[in-house]
Structures are given as C-alpha cells and as structure tokens.
Chain A
Amino acid sequence: MRDESKSARQLVEEWQTGHNREKNFKSLFERYSPPLHYFFQKHGFTHEDCRDLTQQTFLGAYRGLARFRLDSSFETWLFKIARNITRNTLRDQSAGKRRREEVSLDDTADDGSPSPVNWHLEGELVVAGPLNGILVGERLRLVRDAMQELPSDEQQCVLLRAQGLKYREIADVLKMPLGTVKSKLAKAKDHLKELLADRYPEIEL
C-alpha cells in the first residue's frame, strides 16, 4: 500500500527521526524510481543498466539521507546524485576509448551577427585524424551557418530533435504546445532543406 498523502519532505523528515524507516524509504523509492529509470534510459543505457543505476542512486541517497538538509528539495538532490552517477559511469566507460586528435577551428568566419543560441566554433573540437578534422570543420561551419538563419525557437526545436527527443518531450522541455513544436520543426526542415540542399538532400527531423 502506497502512501500518496505524504510529501517527499515529510517522508524524509520521518525517516530522519527514525520513524518507519523502511516504509518511508520504500515510498520514496516507489515514487522516484520510475522517473530516474526514465532519466537513465534517456542517456542510452539498457533496461538492466537503468535498473542498476537507479538502485545505485537510491543507495547513494540512503547513505546521505541522514545528513540531507531540507533546504533543497529531495527531488533536486536525488537528480544531482543520479547525474553524478551517470558521469562516473560514462567516464568509466570512456576511459578505454581510443585517443583522439584535436583540430582548431580558429579560422571560422564570423559575420558578427548576434545568434540566439550563440554558437561557438572557436574552441577545440575532438575528431579522429587531421583530414577528418578538416571535413568535420567544413561540415559544422555549413550546418552552423544554416542554423543561424533560423529563429531562436526553431533552432531550439531542431537541437532537441537532433538529441532524439520525441515531439511530446520537446514540447515539455520548451514549455510549448505540441502543435507549435510540430509546425516549428516543419518550417525549420523546409528552410534547412533550401539552405543545405547540396550537402543534405534529405533532412529527417
């Protein structure tokens, strides 16, 4: 039986005073493990890994719960733990990856016009091999120039769509109606097709 009536704050406070510890922790677990699982899933982890990482997050929370100060929300704190676990896991996984070379894009032309997303290509870009680096630099300049032609909200929709978000998720993230997201992506697609016809005759968004 779940305790829906209590806030996370109440559950944590009761846990901290030693009252019904298992029951209260179970309530927190049941309440927060599905969104955490979803969070890890969005990072591309497998179902089994998501379960494992969700448990690790709660184990971290269990260890820190006694000293958790309620001046921030439990939700914020829990996602902070999940984020650190994600970083550590990804860092472990990438430790053995092949060494990469760097290419500078210092020669990137900039017409000085303000860009809503404020693109930067002046820094380091990690790519494999110098020739590949030049090709990547060329490609990115092309895409950046095209993206800068779009209005800010269309750029935002395209960037989120490129991350693999569904229309519904983009609408949630940008606080937009679903229909608006669809229409902005359609407009952006038409515009980008015009600008990038030579390089990308097919643009899937």
Chain B
Amino acid sequence: MEAPVSETNSDATDVTFTAAVNDLALATRRQKGRELSVEELRTYLDGELSREQEEELKNQLVLDPEATNTLLGMIAFRKQRAAGADAETPVADWQAMQELLAQETAAAETSRPVRGVALRLWQVAAAILFVTSASIFFWAQHRVAQLTEQFSDAHRPRINVFQNDLRPVDLALRRDSDHGQAIVLDAKTERYVVALNITDHGEYPDYGVEFLKISEEGEVRVWGARGLVPGPLDTFHVEFDRNFLPTGSYRVQLFGIEGDRRELLEAYHVDILVE
C-alpha cells in the first residue's frame, strides 16, 4: 500500500504558504489534543448544535484533516441519498467483498463445533485436550515457580520495550497466507508489548484476551485475562516477559464481556520466534 500524502512539511527552506498553514494547523491540533468524534460531526451535519457550538466545532474541524475527511464522506453520502439514488458501485467491488465475506464465514464455520456429526471424534479431541491441558497446567506451575524467583526485578523500569502491532487475522492472512504475524525476540529483548488493533470494539463494560497455542493436537489456552481497557487509539495492550509465552504459533482472541456473556470481537494469528 502506497503512503498517502504527508501532512507534515519538515523542510523549512522551500515550502509554500499552504504547506506552512498546514504545519501551523498540525502544531495547533497537537497542542489541543482533543479530536472530534463521528457522533459530534453527525450532530453538526444534522443541525443539532447551537450557533456557538457550531462555531466552536468549525474552529476545531478546520485544524483536523481527518475530521474534515470524515465529514466530507458523510456529506457525500447524504447528497447521494438526497439525489434519490446510490452512486454506482462496480460489480467487481461487490464480488470481491463477497469473496471476503465467504472466507470470513468459512473461518467462523471451521472454528464452530459441529454437533452430532462426529461425537466420537469430539470425545477423542476432548481427551487430547484434557491431557494437553493437564500438561500445560503442570508446565504452568513450573513456570510460575520460575517467575516467582524473578519477581524482585519486576518493578524496575524497563528500557527498549519492544512493541508489536497485531492486525486482525484477515489482514495478516492477506499478506501472508500460511503464517501469522511474526514477533521475533532478539537476545536483548526482555519484555515486549503486544498491541491488539481492532476496527470497532463496541461498548462493553469489560474486555478480555486469550492466547491459544496452536499445535498439531489443536489449540490450547495458555493464558487469558480480563480487565483490558482500550487505549487512546482504540487499541488494547498486553506486556509480556520474553519467557512467558514459549515460541510457536498462537491464536489471540479479544472479547467483549458483559455479565456472563462473552463475545468474540477479533482474532489475531501470531508466531513468536527467537532470533
């Protein structure tokens, strides 16, 4: 994917007036920090704001190309609807979309257990899962004992913490069909952060994450937690000690939690490797 036009002009010697204005807008926006939500833009478009509120919103809007572009997209949609017809969507676009949706549905089907079709197979799988879980349990106890010894160092600040942005599984698959995204730990990396990107996390009172190790026997849950809070860029972050997750392939699942209900929001595929 090609990089879009940069919004920052760092060369001071030869810039146009408009580039200088954009730099000024960028500096001002960074200072202010707050961004306009899509809902605020909708209220502006729908004329739900007072004159003063509208003026205030406009003054923020003109400093923020992202919000301006969002608003323009919304305006384009409204104009199209007002004209009484949708703009032409190329047939090929819908066909490509259908293919993506078919892959999505197929992926969901394979991860869903098929009731009654192969009960014995299911029982065998459960037994394998039990044995594997038991092994993991004993292994985890061993690891906990090891980690306990290291706890005296746990509160020290860490430098060079390695951050890994995980994209949802479909994007990773489109770039590399057989493997997940790789996290390569070099000898210096003691801890690393995994950032879970998600297009829309919805509104849940709580969020949880689960790491499932993928092996020939199936998937085994090695770690999970709840209490995740989305960061300012709507991503979730987990920091790991390098020894906590053994090398291998993992499926990472992000959940929205409401009472006893747990909803899968996004899945990621990651390979943890040691250099």
Knowing A90-B4, A204-B17, A205-B18 are in contact, say whether A80-B24 is a contact too (CB < 8 A): no
Say yes or no for B31: interface residue by CB 8 A criterion. yes
Q: Is the interface of B mostly helix, strand, loop or mixed?
A: helix
CB-based contact A46/B104 at 8 Å: no
| Nearest neighbor of A101 in chain B, beta-carbon distance | B10
B27 interface neighbour in A33, A73, A125, Cβ under 8 Å: A125
Q: How far is the CB of A155 from chain B (nearest CB, A)?
A: 7
Is B63 touching A136 in the complex (CB atoms < 8 A)? Answer: no
Interface of A is mostly: helix
Query: A69-112 CB contact bits vs B (8 Å, 1 = yes)?
Result: 10011011101111111111111111100001000010000000
Q: Which of B92-100, B149-157, B240-248 contacts A (4 or more CB under 8 A)?
A: B92-100
Number of chain A residues close to chain B: CB under 8 A: 104
Using known A-B contacts A33-B93, A38-B72, A132-B11, determine if residue A86 contacts B20 with beta carbons closer than 8 Å.
no
Q: Does B110 sit at the interface, judged by CB under 8 A?
A: no
Q: Which of A57, A75, A160, A205 contacts B42 (CB 8 A)?
A: A75
Output the nearest chain B residue to A163 by Cβ-Cβ distance.
B65
Q: B81 contacts which chain A residues (CB < 8 A)?
A: 31
Given contacts A59-B100, A88-B167, A140-B23, contact A83 B62 (CB under 8 A): no
Give Cα A62–Cα B100 distance, bound, in whole angstroms.
10
Of B82-90, B116-124, B127-135, the segment with at least 4 beta carbons within 8 Å of chain A is B82-90
Sample of 10 more A-B contacts, CB < 8 Å, known A59-B100, A84-B200: A35-B73, A45-B4, A49-B1, A75-B42, A118-B59, A135-B12, A136-B23, A160-B68, A173-B71, A200-B17
